[in-house]
């Protein structure tokens, strides 16, 4: 697959943050985890990937930050075909995206501040930038005053806020969220969704995998539904069916 | 840059603490193997000192009195060259007083008493003779003949001096080199395993680092540094051991009577320093390579 003509490239860069072209992914000889998936995610959009467990939601997210590579098809992120990217370029791709997980993936031996600062530290941001940006983002997620707590001293909702702060502190273009409310009670989950909505309003494109009906129905955003690896519905302002 | 370095060092030290037992095992193994490598070097050098007079198949040395007349010297040379059937005339070599004095510095390295008695004026010069024949009796009878020539101070035969030592030297060399290579491999494997364990202990952290866009090298460097430091620490311990061993040996040899030949088995301090530097380099490289391979293998993106 050669490079697309320049105007098409620019169009993608400006408009589509993510584009999947006939993407298939298999694990071993099992049924494909994702089969022939194609869709575009415009810049600044909020997309839900819905479907039962094992329908391929997480695989789609993992294809978007190249934790996985598809057997067939192309994945474009911010105008670049990430399947053709050299391994050495992947860290720089990932600096343009944040990741949020159901199990938070916080480092237990680091404080709230250190967990968030870690994301900036490992990409070589200078200390004064870290000292400036971390308090800002902790304020945004509502955790000011809890900088020195350790993850085990926080509630699940607070831990997820730390994880969102870590994903957002570098002001990514894209935020990929894999069942972010999966471990939380409805009220706490609502708070997290409010936070993601606020982040989306700053212009960050969000792709969120979930099977939480309430969340999807309350938000009324684009819904892409998967069933055994196949996209069966792609609906603007959709609900969970 | 400084921030990255300080990050790498902090991580290295933290990881070292976490894996204390394994790290110590890796350090001790590399220390023992490097000590053996160093000892091999020193033993080899000691034997070389002893054999230095006889290098290049020299079978007989004719020592010439320091006050020899040019005529007598010429006569001895002529006499040696007149035996092309027994002596390899092309390889016949004459060491004048200056050259002989330089050689004596090595031969009597551990025998300061003898060394202090020597001077360029009083040292015998020498003909190094490579025999053509394999018949030792023929060489011996020739030697007896030369002892009577005017100007000749004495004749030494290789046979009498070092046959046993030469064989022993070869054997010791093979055994010690073999053992140190095996131990060095063990040390590299242990360091490799320590790094693997360290990576496993930090797999969550590494996963997060990759997801937020840390480069592979950023993740790798602390691990490589850890292995390198383990190798270097082992080398430092082995240097201390080697220094102690050599000091004990040198003072032990000084107790022998001078002129017994054992005195040549002493290694000069400058050579020991060279060996110690080599050990530090070998230790650092082995540790760095072991951990480098482990960290590339287990940190696949």
Measured between CA atoms, how close is B201 to chain A, in angstroms?
A: 12
Sign of CA dihedral A169, A212, A154, A99: negative
Spatial contact of A168 and A142, defined as CB atoms under 8 Å apart = no
CA-based nearest residue in chain A for residue B209: A122
| Cβ-based contacts of A124 with chain B (< 8 Å) | 3-4, 218
CB contact under 8 A, A99 and B218: no
The answer on B243 and B151 residing in a single domain is no
pLDDT at A173: 94
CB contact under 8 A, B210 and A105: no
pLDDT at A1: 47
d(CA A66, CA A83): 8
Domain final position from B160, B187, B207: B160
Instruction: Give strand ranges (E) for chain A.
Output: 16-25, 34-42, 46-50, 72-77, 80-81, 97-101, 174-178, 205-210, 222-227, 230-235
More confident residue, B179 or A8: B179
pLDDT at A150: 95
The angle at the Cα of A192, spanning A153 to A195, to the nearest 5 degrees, equals 115
Please give the C-alpha separations between residue A4 and each of A1, A8, B6, B89, B240, in angstroms, as whole numbers.
9, 6, 44, 82, 65
Spatial contact of B223 and B295, defined as CB atoms under 8 Å apart = yes
Which of B3, B5, B203, B208 should be substituted to probe chain A, the one whose Cβ sees the most A Cβ atoms within 10 Å?
Answer: B208
Inside any domain, residue A6: no
| Cβ-based contacts of A87 with chain B (< 8 Å) | 216, 301
Q: In what order do the strands lie in the sheet with B60-64?
A: B93-95, B125-129, B60-64, B152-157
Spatial contact of A36 and A70, defined as CB atoms under 8 Å apart = no
> For tokens 């969550």, what's the residue?
B204
Inside any domain, residue A115: yes
No. of helices (H) and no. of strands (E), chain B: 10, 4
Q: Are strands A97-101 and A174-178 parallel, antiparallel or unpaired?
A: parallel
| Cβ-based contacts of B207 with chain A (< 8 Å) | 105
Interface of A with B (CB under 8 A): 65, 87-88, 90-95, 99, 105, 107, 118-119, 121-124, 126-127, 166, 170
The answer on B168 and B44 residing in a single domain is yes
CA-based nearest residue in chain B for residue A163: B208
Burial class (CB in 10 A: 0-12, 13-18, 19+), A96: middle
The answer on B168 and B42 residing in a single domain is yes
Measured between CA atoms, how close is A91 to chain B, in angstroms?
A: 4
What contacts A88, CB < 8 A, 6 or more positions away? B215, B216
pLDDT at B175: 84
CB contact under 8 A, A91 and B215: yes
Q: Are strands B152-157 and B60-64 parallel, antiparallel or unpaired?
A: antiparallel
| Cβ-based contacts of A127 with chain B (< 8 Å) | 3
The answer on B148 and B113 residing in a single domain is yes
The number of beta carbons lying within 10 Å of the beta carbon of residue B136 is: 13
CB contact under 8 A, A124 and B204: no
CB contact under 8 A, B216 and A91: yes
Inside any domain, residue A29: no
| Cβ-based contacts of A92 with chain B (< 8 Å) | 213
Domain final position from B136, B160, B184: B160
Domain range spanning residue B105?
55-160
Q: Which of B205, B208, B213 sits opposite A91 (nearest CB)?
A: B213
Inside any domain, residue A45: no
Spatial contact of B3 and B203, defined as CB atoms under 8 Å apart = no
CB contact under 8 A, A91 and B3: no
The answer on B180 and B113 residing in a single domain is no
Measured between CA atoms, how close is B1 to chain A, in angstroms?
A: 8
User: How many separate domains does chain B show?
Assistant: 2
Spatial contact of B234 and B31, defined as CB atoms under 8 Å apart = yes
pLDDT at B301: 43
| Cβ-based contacts of A65 with chain B (< 8 Å) | 211
pLDDT at B257: 60
Measured between CA atoms, how close is A130 to chain B, in angstroms?
A: 12
Measured between CA atoms, how close is A230 to chain B, in angstroms?
A: 26
Spatial contact of B145 and B155, defined as CB atoms under 8 Å apart = no
Q: What is the pLDDT of residues A168-224, one digit of tens each?
A: 999 999 999 999 999 899 999 999 999 999 999 999 999 999 988 889 999 899 999
Which of A124, A126, A177 should be substituted to probe chain B, the one whose Cβ sees the most B Cβ atoms within 10 Å?
Answer: A124
Interface of B with A (CB under 8 A): 3-4, 7, 204-205, 207-216, 218-219, 301
The interaxial angle of helices B203-211 and B216-254, nearest 10 deg, is 140
Q: What is the pLDDT of residues B211-264, one digit of tens each?
A: 988 888 888 888 889 889 989 999 999 999 999 988 888 887 776 665 555 666
d(CA B250, CA B267): 8
The answer on B174 and B149 residing in a single domain is no
Q: Band of the pLDDT at B6, cuts 50, 70, 90?
A: confident
Query: Which parts of chain A register pLDDT below 70?
Result: 1-14, 29-30
pLDDT at B166: 67
The answer on B177 and B31 residing in a single domain is yes
Q: Strand, coil or helix: what is B15?
A: helix
CA-based nearest residue in chain A for residue B11: A122
The answer on B222 and B114 residing in a single domain is no
More confident residue, B100 or B239: B239
What contacts B79, CB < 8 A, 6 or more positions away? B146, B149
CB contact under 8 A, A122 and B4: no
CA-based nearest residue in chain B for residue A109: B205
Torsion angle, CA of B200/B206/B208/B211, rounded to 10 degrees?
-130
Inside any domain, residue A154: yes
Domain range spanning residue A159?
106-171
Q: In what order do the strands lie in the sheet with A46-50?
A: A97-101, A174-178, A205-210, A46-50, A222-227, A230-235
| Cβ-based contacts of B299 with chain A (< 8 Å) | none
With a threshold of 0.90, tell me whether the complex ipTM lies above it: no
The answer on B125 and B44 residing in a single domain is no
The answer on B92 and B111 residing in a single domain is yes
Q: What's the mean per-residue pLDDT of chain B?
A: 81
Q: Strand, coil or helix: what is A226?
A: strand
User: How many separate domains does chain A show?
Assistant: 1
Q: Which of A90, A95, A107 sits opposite B208 (nearest CB)?
A: A107
Q: What is the pLDDT of residues B55-81, one digit of tens each?
A: 666 777 888 888 878 888 888 888 778
Domain final position from B160, B180, B203: B160
Buried b (16+ CB within 10 A) or exposed e, B268-287: eeebbeebbeebbebbbebb
Inside any domain, residue A116: yes
The answer on B72 and B138 residing in a single domain is yes
The answer on B192 and B123 residing in a single domain is no
The number of beta carbons lying within 10 Å of the beta carbon of residue A32 is: 19
pTM of the model: 0.69
CA-based nearest residue in chain A for residue B219: A122
């Amino acid at each position: 697959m050669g490079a697309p003509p320049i105007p098409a490239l620019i169009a993608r860069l400006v408009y589509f943050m993510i584009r999947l072209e006939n993407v298939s992914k298999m694990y071993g000889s099992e049924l494909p985890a994702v089969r022939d998936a194609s869709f575009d995610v415009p810049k600044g959009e909020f997309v839900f990937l819905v479907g039962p467990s094992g329908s391929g939601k997480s695989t789609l997210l993992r294809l978007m930050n190249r934790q996985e590579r598809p057997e067939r098809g192309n994945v474009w992120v911010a105008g670049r075909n990430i399947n053709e990217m050299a391994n050495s370029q992947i860290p720089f791709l990932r600096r343009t995206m944040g990741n949020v997980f159901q199990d938070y993936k916080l480092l237990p031996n680091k404080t709230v501040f250190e967990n968030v600062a870690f994301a900036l530290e490992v990409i070589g941001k200078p200390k004064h930038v870290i000292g400036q940006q971390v308090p800002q983002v902790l304020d945004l997620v509502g955790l000011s005053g809890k900088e020195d707590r350790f993850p085990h001293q926080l509630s699940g909702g607070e831990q997820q806020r730390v994880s969102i702060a870590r994903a957002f502190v570098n002001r990514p273009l894209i935020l990929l969220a894999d069942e972010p409310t999966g471990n939380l009670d409805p009220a706490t989950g609502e708070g997290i969704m409010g936070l993601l909505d606020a982040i989306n309003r700053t212009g960050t494109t969000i792709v969120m995998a979930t099977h939480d009906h309430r969340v999807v129905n309350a938000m009324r955003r684009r819904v892409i539904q998967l069933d055994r690896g196949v996209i069966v519905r792609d609906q603007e302002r959709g609900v969970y069916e | 840059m400084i921030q990255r370095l300080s990050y790498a060092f902090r991580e290295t030290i933290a990881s070292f603490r976490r894996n204390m037992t394994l790290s110590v095992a890796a350090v001790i193994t590399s220390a023992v193997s490097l000590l053996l490598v160093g000892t091999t070097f020193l033993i080899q050098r000691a034997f070389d000192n002893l054999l230095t007079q006889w290098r290049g198949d020299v079978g007989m040395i004719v020592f010439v009195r320091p006050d020899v007349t040019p005529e007598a010297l010429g006569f001895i040379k002529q006499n040696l060259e007149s035996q092309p059937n027994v002596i390899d005339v092309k390889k016949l070599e004459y060491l004048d007083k200056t050259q002989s004095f330089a050689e004596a510095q090595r031969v009597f390295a551990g025998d300061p008493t003898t060394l202090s008695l020597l001077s360029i004026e009083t040292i015998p010069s020498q003909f190094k003779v490579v025999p053509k024949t394999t018949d030792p009796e023929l060489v011996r009878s020739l030697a007896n003949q030369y002892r009577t020539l005017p100007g000749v101070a004495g004749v030494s035969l290789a046979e009498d001096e070092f046959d046993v030592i030469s064989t022993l030297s070869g054997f010791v060399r093979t055994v010690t080199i073999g053992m140190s290579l095996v131990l060095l491999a063990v040390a590299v494997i242990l360091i490799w395993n320590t790094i693997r364990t360290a990576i496993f202990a930090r797999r969550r952290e590494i996963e997060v680092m990759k997801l937020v866009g840390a480069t592979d090298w950023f993740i790798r460097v602390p691990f490589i540094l850890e292995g390198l430091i383990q190798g270097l620490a082992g080398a430092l311990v082995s240097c201390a051991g080697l220094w102690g061993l050599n000091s004990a040996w040198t003072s032990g040899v000084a107790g022998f009577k001078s002129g017994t030949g054992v005195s040549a088995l002493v290694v000069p301090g400058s050579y020991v320093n060279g060996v110690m530097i080599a050990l530090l380099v070998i230790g650092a490289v082995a540790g760095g390579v072991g951990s480098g391979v482990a960290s590339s293998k287990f940190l696949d993106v």
